[in-house]
């Protein structure tokens, strides 16, 4: 050991490092430290700027839509029908259609997705089948919305002879929401502490009793958060709804009625450029709904954190 160091020392002497005078050495060290510190603060500033740009992009979009959309929003705009070629007037039927189809999709997707997540988290043994299910859910989550739209058209409308309707759109949207709710629910269930389950089993409860009366209630806030986020996704979806629900302005009564969602309405107004005022108003209404849903999700999560 000591010999090794002696060798090193000798080599250093040969290189002339040992000869370097003490103040020069500390100067070099100090210069290096300054350089490092400069690089550090420069890099951290870049990170700050990047985060700033991200937030600024959001602020610009929200402010832009808000400033241009706010003047057109009034009770009349919300609660009356559009009329004329320029879609003057309100957007009431599109709001009803949007809520209708989203609620229907939730009704279809929620039980299937939650029970599927229960299977993955509580019942399934890790193996090939679970791998396949997970891969399928991931793929489903990343299917481009236009592909989902064409599938809805080819499957629900063409093959099953459903009319272009709330039901066809809700089925396609449910498929879109399925992986989102599944993942949120599975994560929620996995976050339930084990000892709670043991307590339940210890009292003699069966697996289903434990899941339905102990695990699911405990995981409920996070499941609801996932549901709310999935709802936001469905409300903003355009391509899927376009091919399964149609674009006729209509007040839906039965699930087999067609209609036009807010997102489709906004798309048509913006592309034709006929009534930008109504387009801004619709965009703002959409943003407000999404914003409310997002804050609802946050609120549920924060309350749940306080309880624990």
Partner 1 sequence: MTPFTLRQADEQDQTLNPGMSPDLATTSPQHKKAELTLVSRTTQIKERALSLLFFLCAIVAVLGVVLIFAFVAVKAVPLFKDIGFLNFIAGTKWSVAQSKFGVVPFIVGSLVVTVGALAIGAPLAILTALFLSEVAGPRARAVIRPAVELLAGIPSVVYGFFGVTVIAPVVGRLFGGAGFGPLTAWIVLSIMIVPTIAMLSEDALDSIPMGIREASFAMGATQWQTIYKVVLPAAKIGIIDATILGMGRAIGETMAVLMIVGNAPQMFAGLTKPIATLTSQIVLGMGYASGDFQTALFGMAALLFIISMGLVLTVRLLSRSKREEGQGA
- Number of Cβ within 10 Å of residue 153's Cβ equals 18
Instruction: Count Cα neighbours of 165 within 13 Å in the Cβ-side half-sphere.
Output: 15
CB of 207 to partner 1, least distance (A): 6
CB of 209 to partner 1, least distance (A): 5
CA distance 116 to 251: 34
CB of 58 to partner 1, least distance (A): 5
Instruction: Count Cα neighbours of 212 within 13 Å in the Cβ-side half-sphere.
Output: 7
In this complex, which beta carbon is closest to partner 1, that of residue 166 or of residue 181?
181
CB 166 within 8 A of CB 104: yes
CA distance 25 to 31: 10
In this complex, which beta carbon is closest to partner 1, that of residue 79 or of residue 135?
135
In this complex, which beta carbon is closest to partner 1, that of residue 223 or of residue 283?
283
Give the list of residues 6+ apart from residue 209 with CB closer than 8 angstroms, or none.
Answer: 200
CB 81 within 8 A of CB 90: yes
CB of 135 to partner 1, least distance (A): 6
In this complex, which beta carbon is closest to partner 1, that of residue 2 or of residue 125?
125
CA distance 50 to 52: 5
Q: Look at residue 228 and give its three-state secondary structure.
A: helix
In this complex, which beta carbon is closest to partner 1, that of residue 18 or of residue 199?
199
CA distance 172 to 101: 10
CA distance 283 to 65: 7
**Pick from 281, 274, 283: nearest CA to 87:** 274
CB of 138 to partner 1, least distance (A): 5
In this complex, which beta carbon is closest to partner 1, that of residue 9 or of residue 25?
25
CA distance 291 to 298: 11
For residue 82, which phi and psi values (nearest 5 degrees)? Answer: -75, 145
In this complex, which beta carbon is closest to partner 1, that of residue 7 or of residue 49?
49
**Pick from 130, 146, 126: nearest CA to 138:** 130
CB of 242 to partner 1, least distance (A): 8
CB of 61 to partner 1, least distance (A): 5
In this complex, which beta carbon is closest to partner 1, that of residue 118 or of residue 166?
118
CB of 77 to partner 1, least distance (A): 17
């Amino acid at each position: 050991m000591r010999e090794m160091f002696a060798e090193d020392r000798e080599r250093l002497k040969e290189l002339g490092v040992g000869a370097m005078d003490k103040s020069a050495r500390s100067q070099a060290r100090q210069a290096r430290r300054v350089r490092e510190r400069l690089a550090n603060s420069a890099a951290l500033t870049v990170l700050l700027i990047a985060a700033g740009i991200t937030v600024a992009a959001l602020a610009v979009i929200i402010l832009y839509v808000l400033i241009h959309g706010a003047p057109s929003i009034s009770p009349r705009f919300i609660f009356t029908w559009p009329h004329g070629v320029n879609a003057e007037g309100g957007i009431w039927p599109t709001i009803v259609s949007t809520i209708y189809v989203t609620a229907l999709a939730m009704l279809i997707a929620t039980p299937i997705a939650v029970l599927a997540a229960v299977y993955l988290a509580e019942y399934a043994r890790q193996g090939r089948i679970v791998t396949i299910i997970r891969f399928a859910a991931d793929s489903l989550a990343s299917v481009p919305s236009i592909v989902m739209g064409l599938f809805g058209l080819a499957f629900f409308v063409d093959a099953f002879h459903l009319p272009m309707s709330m039901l066809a759109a809700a089925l396609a949207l449910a498929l879109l929401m399925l992986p989102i709710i599944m993942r949120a629910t599975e994560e929620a269930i996995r976050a339930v502490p084990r000892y709670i389950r043991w307590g339940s089993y210890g009292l003699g409860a069966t697996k289903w009793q434990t899941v339905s009366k102990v695990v699911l209630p405990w995981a409920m806030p996070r499941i609801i958060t996932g549901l709310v986020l999935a709802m936001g996704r469905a409300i903003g979806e355009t391509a899927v709804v376009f091919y399964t629900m149609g674009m006729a302005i209509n007040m839906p009564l039965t699930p087999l009625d067609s209609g036009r969602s807010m997102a489709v309405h906004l798309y048509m107004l913006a592309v034709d450029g006929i009534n930008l005022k109504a387009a801004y108003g619709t965009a703002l209404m959409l943003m407000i709904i999404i914003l409310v849903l997002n804050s609802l999700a946050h609120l549920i999560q924060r309350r749940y954190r306080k309880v624990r």
